[in-house]
Amino acid sequence: MYDVCVIGAGVNGCSIAHFLTKSGKKVALFDKDGIAAGGSGAAGAFISPKFSKGGELKELIEKSYLFSLDFYSQNFPSFLKRAPLLHIAKEEFDAQKLRAFKENTSLKITETPLQVSQILREEAQKNENVYLLNGGVVDAQGVCRAMAEGTDFFHYEVKNLVWQDGYYEVGDIKAKEVVLAYGAYEPIIHEPYINLRGIWGHRIDIHTSTRTEVTMHHHVSISKCEDGNMAIGATHNVHYHPQKNIEPYDINEGREELLKKANLTIELKNVEVLKDYTGLRSGSNDYLPLIGRMVESKNNFDEISYYPNLTMINGVGGYGFVLAPYIAKQLCEFIIDGKDVDAFLMPLRFYKRYIKGLQKSR
C-alpha cells in the first residue's frame, strides 16, 4: 500500500513526488513514456519571471521565480546553470509591457553591464529591455530524475482508477491518495469542466563558435554559452498535437525555425545541432495552473462533490520549471496538513464557470 500515487512524471509530477517523499510519504510515480519523456523534457527550462503589466499570473510567476531559483540552488545545484537574464522586447506592444513591468515589479533590475557583448548591447539599446542578475537554465530531464529519487517509479500507462474500501487501485498497486499530473494527453478521468490546451514544444542543444555571456529572451530563448554549447527554445505550437494530427512533426522545419529566431538576436556561427527535444506541454484556458481537489460533476448543481482523496497539478504551460516547485509545495501541504490552496488556482474555478454556462443555456 502506497500513501500517494502520482500519475505523470513530468516536472509537475516529479515536483509533487519530491515534496511528498521528503515529507515521509511512500510514493508511487507512474508514466507511460518515462521520467520527463514528454513536454517537460522538451522545455527550455529557463528560470525567469513573466514580463507583463500585471495580474494574478504575473504575480504568481514572480513569486515562483524567486522560490524556484532558491529551490534548485539549494536542492539540485548541479542541474542549474546560473546566468544573468537579458529580456529584449520584439515590438512596441512588448515594449509597453516591459515598461509597465519595470514600474511595478519588486525585482531588482540593473543596467545592461559592459561585459555583455557589443552586439547584444546594440540590440538592447534599439529596443526596450530588462536585465536581471539572477536567472538560469535547468537541466530539464536531469532535475526531474533527481526529484523522482526516493519514489518507486513504474513505466506503465494508467487508463483508469478504481476507488474502493478507502483506497485506489492503480494497475496492480494500491494507494490511499492519487495526484493527477499527466499534462494535456488523454485524461484518465473525463470531466467536462477541465479543458487543457496542448502546447507542442521543440528545443535544440547546439555547439557554436559564437559566445554569449547571458541568457536571452527575445524572439526565442537562448542560454548562456558554456564550452561552446547552448540551448535554444522552446517553441510554442498550439496547432500540433501528437494524438490528433495525422502528419508527424517535422523536426527539420522546427530546427530551422529555432535557428532563424535565434539569429534575429545574435549571429550564430559554425552551428552544429547536438540534440532535439520535442513534447507536449499543457496550459489552461485562463493561463493559470490547476492545483487541488477534483470536483465530481453531478446533476445537482446546488451541491459541490469532490472525488475522494484525488487531487491534480497541471496547466503550467511554458513556465513549468518556474511554477512547478512552488505550486507542488502548496499541494503537498494540502495533502499532508490540509492547508488551503490558493482559491484562484483550484479546479473548482472551472467547475463554477461550467455550471454557470449550463444554467444560462436552460
The predicted-structure confidence for 300-353, as pLDDT tens digits, reads as follows: 667 889 999 999 999 999 999 999 999 999 999 999 999 999 999 999 999 999
What is the predicted pLDDT for the residue at 118?
Answer: 55
119 and 256 inside one domain: yes
Q: Is 266 in the same domain as 132?
A: yes
pLDDT for position 120: 60
Which of 234, 260, 278 is the endpoint of a domain? 278
pLDDT score, position 241: 87
Cross-sheet strand order for the sheet of 272-283 = 129-132, 85-88, 215-217, 221-222, 229-232, 197-207, 272-283
343, part of any domain: yes
Q: Are 108 and 94 within one domain?
A: yes
Residue in the block written with cell 507536449: 280
- What is the model's pTM? 0.93
Residue 272: what pLDDT? 97
Is the same domain home to 203 and 129? yes
- Residue 53 has a pLDDT of 85
pLDDT for the residue numbered 90: 87
What CATH number does residue 122 fall under?
A: 3.30.9.10
Q: Domain check: are 23 and 171 in the same one?
A: yes
158 within a domain of the structure (yes/no): yes
At residue 112, the pLDDT reads 63
Q: What's the domain range around 10?
A: 2-39+142-196+285-361
Q: Which residues of the chain have pLDDT under 50?
A: 114
Domain count, the chain: 2
In-domain check, residue 256: yes
Answer yes or no: is 170 within a domain.
Answer: yes
Contact 212, 117 (CB under 8 A): yes
CATH number at residue 344: 3.50.50.60
Residue 52 inside a domain? The answer is no
Domain boundary among 278, 309, 334: 278
